[in-house]
Amino acid sequence: MSGKPGYHGVILNIDLSTGKSEKVAVPSEDLARFVGGQGLGMKILWDRLKKPGVDPLSPENPLIFMPGPFSGLPVPSSSRTCVVTKSPITSPLQSDYPHASTVTYSNMGGFFGPEIRFAGYDGLVITGKARELCYIVIDDGKVEIRDAKKFKGMRTDAFDKAILDELGDRKFKTVYIGPAGENLVPYSSILHTAGRAAGRGGTGCVMGSKNLKAIAVKGTGQPSVADHKRFLAALEKARLALNGSAFAKSWAEQGTARAIVGNSNAGTEAVRNYREGTFPEAGKIGGDAARRDVWVKDIACYCCPLACKKSGITKGKYGGIVHDGPEYETGVMLGSNLLISDMPGLLKAIYTIDDLGLDHISTGNVIGFLMEAYEKGMIDLTFLNGIDLKWGSVDATLAMIEKIAAREGVGALAAEGVRALSWHIGKGSEKFAIQVKGLELAAHNIQANQPRGLSYATAERGACHLSGDDIATQNRRAMIDSIGLCLFPTFEPALEEPMLALLSAITGREYDKAGFEKTGERIFNLEKMFNYREGFRREDDRLPDRFFEDAFTIGTKKGAVLDRANFDAMLSKYYKDRGWDPETTKPGDLKLKELGLDSV
């Protein structure tokens, strides 16, 4: 049973340098003000890194796995785990600190977060660095650090099977890195089962820097709730809001892949390294094609009625078992963005990236940048180690993925991301290096979508499509990522009231819509303070020149391009409405006091 309604009241600290672990009480004030997931993880990061400029790959940087108060309870779609750390890929344009970077928070579904709660913890905090490659086993209150040298270099698909065989108990839930994480690729990911990943911001790189291959967790407990009767009533409303609804059925039918054709038609898709917003062959890699030709099974995360994960089989040159995809981000970044319309080839690329432990979004962005630089004669075959990296080439894409994960040849530079590549290549290539603060943009193009441009510019982890296109959405989503709930079901309006009732019943603290969003605003502002302390200023909230200079030439949004003056005015209004200084973006004293953050 929990010591505090909705919580166990403790996190598990593991220091890989000393091999010691301990339970640490979480202050009740922090639970009330930062909730869990992204919010509580951010508060822990702020408290642990008291000074700016800490090297993200140093033993001092904590790697934090945070479920939320919904996790471990039978709440629909309460599967999420937020991985919070200091990013190894972002940096400000100017700073007094050579290792300045943003916070990063990367969210994954599956079963790992609920299992942390079953084991009796509200989160895991990993610090230090092991002498040799290791993995952690947590079995309720028992914690072991075991040797993992025999798994060195193992790809994630094989490792997923091997670790469970070694543990001899399939009740363990595991997260792990692949060769890319071991090789410290700054945009490597942490994987959990097939196709679930904390991909953004280099979480796998931080895990690799600690010589940590994997974590396995198994638990037999469950957190309590403050008001059981109210919890059951709200739970029934939440289930009725989703189960059997047209909304849920549409997600189960195609998952996020349904947007591949829709966004292309709308002119908001990343195509040809964001040169266009429409991909004429999107229908070949979209949800209808995948349902017809590939998928044979729908897969759900913990307690989820949406079942948006898909698996199946392809044939031909790139044929084989499909573990996951295409989803929107993976299908676009490795399909439309690279002009690849070969479905089996696309799925082979998606699988290979997961198997090596890379982030699909950054990897697809890097390869698209190199394809354009190659097309324009800025780089040649010698630079590319003989890889003929032409638009639409599956073989060249697969070869480059392998190079990046191994940091071999051209892959050593490509592993550093598009900003580093553009600095190295020069010749004006920075205009089409699609990144903000060093983090590559996701699969939503913005020449015809100015609000999404605001999300990319102002998100705290660097370019992020999920942060929100306006202040209210940013605050709300910070909270959604803090309670342990998946974002997707929250698009169903009927879930709003039972979500708030569930949170109130679980924690014993009353939440209405305004209080929910105010708590999210506190979390967002603490993240902003972390970044500001590292040296990030208004000039870092800058979109690439492409979006202001290269109008679309095809599609329904032909001619669309962002207006620089209008966008700059929108940014100024955003900072003012946030209560931040529009010149420096520093949160104002009145805003911090209003949010109870004046002490930071």
Task: Report the C-alpha gap between 264 and 261 in whole angstroms.
Answer: 5
The domain 10-218: what is its CATH number? 3.60.9.10
Partner residues linked to 105 by β-bridges: 84
Structure letter (DSSP) for residue 337: G
pTM: 0.97
Beta pairing class for 212-218 and 134-139: parallel
Helix (H) or strand (E) holding 212: strand 212-218
589, exposed or middle or buried, with CB in 10 Å at 0-12, 13-18, 19+? exposed
487-523: burial string, b at 16+ Cβ within 10 Å, e else: ebbeebeebeebbbbbbbbbbebebeeeebbbbbbbb
Task: Report the C-alpha gap between 418 and 402 in whole angstroms.
Answer: 17
Q: Using omega within 30 degrees of 0 as the cis cutoff, is the peptide bond preceding 62 cis?
A: no
Helix (H) or strand (E) holding 456: helix 450-458
Task: Report the C-alpha gap between 560 and 553 in whole angstroms.
Answer: 8
Q: Which CATH number fits domain 232-440: 1.10.569.10, 3.30.70.100, 1.10.10.10, 1.10.1060.10?
A: 1.10.569.10
Decide yes or no: CATH 1.10.599.10 for domain 450-594.
yes
CA distances from 148 to 23, 189, 218, 401 (A): 24, 18, 19, 25
Question: How is the chain split into domains, by residue range?
Answer: 10-218, 232-440, 450-594
Question: Beta-carbon neighbour count of residue 143 at 10 Å?
Answer: 20
3-class state of residue 63 by DSSP: strand
Q: Which has the closest alpha carbon to 133: 207, 216, 218? A: 207
Task: Report the C-alpha gap between 314 and 225 in whole angstroms.
Answer: 46
How confident is the model over 407-461, as pLDDT tens digits? 999 999 999 999 999 999 999 999 999 999 999 999 999 999 999 999 999 999 9
Splitting the chain (600 residues) into consecutive groups of 10 residues, what average pLDDT does each group show?
A: 80 98 97 98 97 97 98 96 98 95 97 98 98 98 98 97 96 98 98 92 98 98 95 96 85 93 98 98 97 93 92 92 91 98 97 97 98 98 98 98 98 98 98 98 97 97 96 98 96 95 97 97 98 98 98 98 98 98 97 92
Q: Which has the closest alpha carbon to 187: 19, 449, 369? A: 369
Report the first-to-last Cα separation within the chain, whole angstroms. Answer: 33
pLDDT recorded at residue 567: 97
Structure tokens at 45: 């990061």
pLDDT recorded at residue 3: 63
Torsion of CA 15, 18, 20, 23, to 10 degrees: -40
The secondary structure of 77-122 as a DSSP string is T---EEEEEE-SS---SS-S-TT---EEEEEE-SSHHHHHHHTT-S
- Assess contact for 405 and 514: CB atoms under 8 A: no
325-335: burial string, b at 16+ Cβ within 10 Å, e else: bbbbbbbbbbb
